[in-house]
Structure 1
Amino acid sequence: MSTYTVIGGGIAGASIAYHLAKTGNSVTVYDRYDKGQATTASAGIICPWVSQRRNKKWYRLVQEGARYYPDFIQELEETTGQFTGYKRNGAICLFKDERIQQLAYERISAKQDGSPEMGDVYKLTKAEVKEMHPHLTDCYPAVFVEGGGQIRGESLLSALKEGISLHGGKWIQQAIKPEEAEGTVIYAAGAWAGEYYQTPLVRHQRAELLHLKLDDAYQSKETPVVMGLGPMYIVGTDHNQFAIGTTHEDTEDFSIAPSEENQQYLHHEAMRYFPETTIQDQFMAVGLRPFTRDSLPYIGWTADHIFSVNGLGSTGLTAGPVIGREVAAYLTDKETVLNLEDYAYL
């Protein structure tokens, strides 16, 4: 049995701690509960196959993350008895017109051979979009990805915390300096990592989501994730309730006060996608997303006893669980599925 101290209780730190604890290691997580933690503010979309990013190392990571999710969630929920909010209701990807829809269908469906977990992929007419998601506008055709899903970041963290405890680990709500920690240190402090180390260099974006409620007569039903035009997306959160986002702002500030301007912008976007109903704003969620070089997560040693994980960005909830599995295997000299040297680029 080895001793590990995890600094940072976001999705990366919590998942690594869980996977280390369940294999019998001594694990303690220290988390300050900084406001603005990206994991709890995120919409939690699990659908990496629709991305147009060309970075192969990043895609291998999120592809494996999505593949791991169903088994990971089943084990975690059975172990803890807690619901994580994970759903595989599919993803509706909207496009401006039929020409772009066709190009997107060809690009997305070409990934099926390497990712059978994404399920069926097919085109939807405007009328079929409306039938599948009655609240949604019928102005755009779409591509449907059967395996798309969503997760509640806050619920997932709660289940991981319980799982760590059940496997003998500890979770302490306080700060700790890396040099004061026992054993091997996993440094996963997210946007706040620069307080102790500048390697890897971490920057962050301020991202805002609008949570809203629709006042309409449609009978509530489980709806797919919606990938809108550009960077916009919509996820269902409750009965006739949704979150729409997101805004992106590069910043060195750690303020999480919601922006009235961004709220108005997101409300206007919501009116575009939900044109047939009255929209009631509920609240704004603000998260600070950490990024490292080339927007590729860093996973590797930064000192003799410091193993750093950071820069998960906007796909942290997709990649976090599998990073936990892979880092735990690597640190305990077990075989990994991913080559972690791809992410230790210092």
Structure 2
Amino acid sequence: MSTYTVIGGGIAGASIAYHLAKTGNSVTVFDRSDNGQATSASAGIICPWVSQRRNKKWYKLVQEGARYYPDFIQELEEVTGQSTGYKRNGAICLFKDERIQQLAYERISAKQDDSPEMGAVRKLTDAEVKEMHPHLTNNYPAVFVEGGGQISGDQLLTALKEGIHTHGGKWIQQNADPEKCEGTIIYAAGAWAGEYSNKPNVRHQKAELLHLELQAEDGHTPSPVVMGLGPMYIVETGSNHYAIGTTHEDTDEFSITPSKENQDYLHGEAKRYFPLADISDQFMAVGLRPFTRDSLPYIGWTEDHIFSVNGLGSSGLTAGPVIGREVAAYLTGKETVLNLDDYAYI
């Protein structure tokens, strides 16, 4: 048995702690519950196969993350008896015209051989869009990815905390003093990493999501996530309740005060995708997303006894669970699926 101290209780830190604790190691997590933690504010879409990013190392990470999700969630929910909010209702991807729809269909379908977990991929008719998502506009050609899903960041963190406790770990809600931490330190402080170390260099973006309610009849089946035009996405958070986002603002500040300008912008986007519904704004969620070099997560040693994980950006909830599995295996001398040297570029 080895001793580990995890600083930072977002998805990366919590998942690493859980995977280390369940294999019998002594684990203590220090987390301040800072407002603006990216995990809690995220929409939680699990659908990496539709991304157009060409960074192969990043794609390997999120691809393996999506592959791991069903087994990971089943295990965690059985161990803790808690729901994580994980749903696999598929993803509707919208495009501005039929030519781009066809290109996207071909691009996404080409990934199926290496990612059978993504399920079926098919182009949708206008009627099929309405059947799957009655409130959603059918003004845009669509592609459906069967394996797309979503997770509640807050519910997942709650379950991971319970799992850590179940396996004998500790979760302390206070600031950590690295000089007094025991064993190997795993530093996963997200946007706040610069307080203790400048390795790796971490910058952050302020991201805002609008939570809203549609004034419509209840009773429809849970809807797929929606990947809209550009960076826009929509997730169902309850009956006739949705979150739409996101905005991206590079910043050196840690303010989580939402912007009225961004709220108005997102409300306008909601009307674009729900043109026939009366929309009532509920609240704005704000998160601070950490990024590292080339927007590729850093996973590796930065000091002799400090192992850092940071820069998950907008893919934190997709990659976080599998990072926990892989880091726990690496630190305890077991075989990993991913080559973590790909992410240790210091």
TM-score by length of 2: 0.99
Size of the aligned set, in residue pairs, is: 346
1:244-268: CA deviation from partner (whole Å, max 9, x where unpaired): 0000000001000011000000000
CA distance in 2, matches of 1:25, 1:100: 50
Deviation, 1:132, is: 1.2
Deviation, 1:219, is: 3.0
- What residue number does 2:20 align with? 20
CA distance in 2, matches of 1:217, 1:65: 36
- What residue number does 1:280 align with? 280
Q: Is the 8 A contact 2:137 2:274 kept in 1?
A: yes
CA RMSD of aligned residues (A): 0.6
- What residue number does 2:249 align with? 249
- What residue number does 1:295 align with? 295
- What residue number does 1:29 align with? 29
- CA, structure 1 residues 275+218, in 2 after alignment: closer, same or farther (shift >3 Å)? farther
Amino acid at match of 2:226: V
SS at structure 2 position matched to 1:89: coil
CA distance in 1, matches of 2:314, 2:112: 23
CA distance in 1, matches of 2:221, 2:120: 21
**Which blocks of at least 5 consecutive residues in structure 2 are unaligned?**
none
Amino acid at match of 2:143: V
- What residue number does 1:220 align with? 220
Matches within 5 A, 1:1-346: 1-217=1-217, 219-346=219-346
The structure 1 segments of at least 4 consecutive aligned residues displaced by more than 3 Å after TM superposition are: none
CA distance in 2, matches of 1:105, 1:311: 30
CA distance in 1, matches of 2:66, 2:138: 29
CA distance in 2, matches of 1:127, 1:141: 11
Name the stretch that deviates more: 124-133 or 110-119.
Answer: 124-133
Deviation, 1:218, is: 5.4
- CA, structure 1 residues 48+104, in 2 after alignment: closer, same or farther (shift >3 Å)? same
1:190-220: CA deviation from partner (whole Å, max 9, x where unpaired): 0000011001000000000000000013533
SS at structure 1 position matched to 2:319: helix
1:85-142: CA deviation from partner (whole Å, max 9, x where unpaired): 0000000000111111000000000000000000000001222211210010110110
CA distance in 1, matches of 2:244, 2:147: 20
Percent identical pairs in the alignment equals 82
SS at structure 2 position matched to 1:159: helix
CA distance in 1, matches of 2:233, 2:70: 22
Q: Is the 8 A contact 1:134 1:218 kept in 2?
A: no
CA distance in 2, matches of 1:71, 1:5: 26
**Which blocks of at least 5 consecutive residues in structure 1 are unaligned?**
none
Q: Is the 8 A contact 1:124 1:142 kept in 2?
A: yes
Q: Is the 8 A contact 1:135 1:218 kept in 2?
A: no
Deviation, 1:161, is: 0.1
